[in-house]
Amino acid sequence: MSEKNGQRRLLQGNEAIVEGALAAGCRFFAGYPITPASEIAEMMSLRLPALNGTFIQMEDEIAGMGAIIGASLAGVKSLTATSGPGFSLMQENLGFACAAEVPCVVVNVMRVGPSTGLSTSPAQGDVMQARWGTHGDHPVIVLAVSTVVDCFATTVQAFNLAEKYRVPVIVLSDEIVAHTRETVVLPDPADIMVIDRIHPGVPPEWYIPYEDNSRGVPAMAAMGSGYRHHVTGLIHDVRGFPTERPEEVDAFIRRLFRKITNGFAEIQITRSVMMEDAEIAVIAYGAVSRSALRAVRLARSRGIRAGLLQLITLFPFPRKAVEGVLRQCRRVLVPEMNMGQMIREVKRVNLATEIVRHNRVDGQFITPAEIYDHLLSM
């Protein structure tokens, strides 16, 4: 791709995602055809062989997700791309990637659902599925793209975050962004920051595959690199072997969350436009943020002090940035192509009421006594 870099190119969003993935070092794609995401697979099948990478069209999206996890475990950065129905099928193995901490990137080009829905129309209905689609308590990173340039840059970012935090990263696109053609200038590969997972720095006999550290992200050894270990979707101890001991289960689940919490400052990406003196604001993401930007500019031209907070990161929810907006503005509009999914997250950033949580993640039941004691202590 080097010969074309630094040049102006007319690309559609799906093509820019491919360029971003390749620039980030992705060398494996497995997937299944689906509108409006198929161009990503088509471009990957064309581009990967020349880069010594591998493309495979699997029998369904379940298999596509399984194959990219396998490739990533073998040390190769991996991508799959789909739309709503396929994204539903991927949830099972997506959970495996969360539990076993396998870096990978999943692009969901959203279309109208539920079910087969409107296969060629855009929507933002999969936001909560991206966050909570697979069963069980799990952390995940969800990014949203709004322009063709975004598709490139955010896909690079998605791979970097996946590698750095050993977590699947979901990129939410939609039919508008996917099929819009825009002129973009792709950066020179030398100017792109690419992050790779950290390999163990100790000899194999000292390697503890899921050992905690200050970042909460264990070093990751590829299969075949001499660091033989066990990988499972069962809750496991630091050596990777199944455990049911409450203290080990608790430590495991809490570390999964802590590693993301530790990275909030870096992971929670937002873009503020004309927010400095804004009195009213729009909070938007994906293609809708383009309409929002236009609307804000219009308002400004009429003397209304409006601003835009665009969410690039949807999850972990960029609470700090949203809180700032809520503190500053009288009214906030949250436009979305769904019945209201992110607005609930925005409403949750509610400073008037103290909301206290009580959690257990060690496989043990929360007893009435625990809750009673906590209530009394509040």
Bridge partners, 309 (sequence order): 272, 283
CA distances from 269 to 54, 125, 212, 281, 326 (A): 31, 21, 26, 18, 17
The closest alpha carbon to 274, from 295, 305, 303, belongs to: 305
CB nearer to other proteins: give 14 or 243: 243
Judged by CB under 8 A, the chain residues 241 through 270 that form the site for other proteins are 241-242
First CA to last CA across the chain, in angstroms? Answer: 59
Q: What is the DSSP letter of 236?
A: B
Q: What's the sign of the alpha-carbon dihedral 31, 34, 37, 39?
A: positive
User: What's the min distance (Å) between Cβ of 46 and other proteins?
Assistant: 8
CB nearer to other proteins: give 223 or 304: 223
User: What's the min distance (Å) between Cβ of 155 and other proteins?
Assistant: 20
118 near 175, Cβ under 8 Å?
no
CB nearer to other proteins: give 75 or 187: 75
Q: What is the DSSP letter of 188?
A: P
Q: Which residue from 33, 189, 226, 246 is in contact with other proteins, where contact means CB under 8 A? A: 226
Q: What is the DSSP letter of 317?
A: -
Task: Tell me the C-alpha distance between 75 and 69, whole Å.
Answer: 10
Span interacting with other proteins, options 105-113, 158-166, 236-244, 343-351, rule CB under 8 A: 236-244
Strands 181-185 and 8-12 come out as: antiparallel
Q: Binding of other proteins at residue 120 (CB under 8 A)? A: no
- Count the neighbouring beta carbons within 10 Å of the beta carbon of residue 266: 13
CB nearer to other proteins: give 97 or 282: 97
Judged by CB under 8 A, the chain residues 73 through 92 that form the site for other proteins are 73-76, 78, 92
The number of residues that bind other proteins (CB under 8 A) is: 44
Judged by CB under 8 A, the chain residues 17 through 76 that form the site for other proteins are 28, 30, 49-50, 52, 54, 56, 58-60, 62-76
User: What's the min distance (Å) between Cβ of 154 and other proteins?
Assistant: 24
Task: Tell me the C-alpha distance between 306 and 127, whole Å.
Answer: 26
CA distances from 71 to 56, 150, 174, 235, 351 (A): 11, 26, 26, 22, 44
CB nearer to other proteins: give 117 or 240: 240
CB nearer to other proteins: give 189 or 226: 226
Task: Tell me the C-alpha distance between 327 and 278, whole Å.
Answer: 11
The closest alpha carbon to 24, from 89, 107, 127, belongs to: 107
Q: Binding of other proteins at residue 311 (CB under 8 A)? A: no
CB nearer to other proteins: give 31 or 307: 31
Q: Binding of other proteins at residue 222 (CB under 8 A)? A: yes
CB nearer to other proteins: give 49 or 340: 49
User: What's the min distance (Å) between Cβ of 7 and other proteins?
Assistant: 20
b/e code 62-86 from CB counts within 10 Å (16+ = b): bbbbbbbbbbbbebbbbbbbbbbbb
Report residue 187 as tokens: 């950066």
Site string for other proteins, 271-310 (x = CB under 8 A): ----------------------------------------
Q: Binding of other proteins at residue 96 (CB under 8 A)? A: yes
User: What's the min distance (Å) between Cβ of 139 and other proteins?
Assistant: 19
User: What's the min distance (Å) between Cβ of 99 and other proteins?
Assistant: 10
Q: Which residues bind other proteins (CB under 8 A)?
A: 28, 30, 49-50, 52, 54, 56, 58-60, 62-76, 78, 92-93, 96, 222-226, 228-234, 239, 241-242
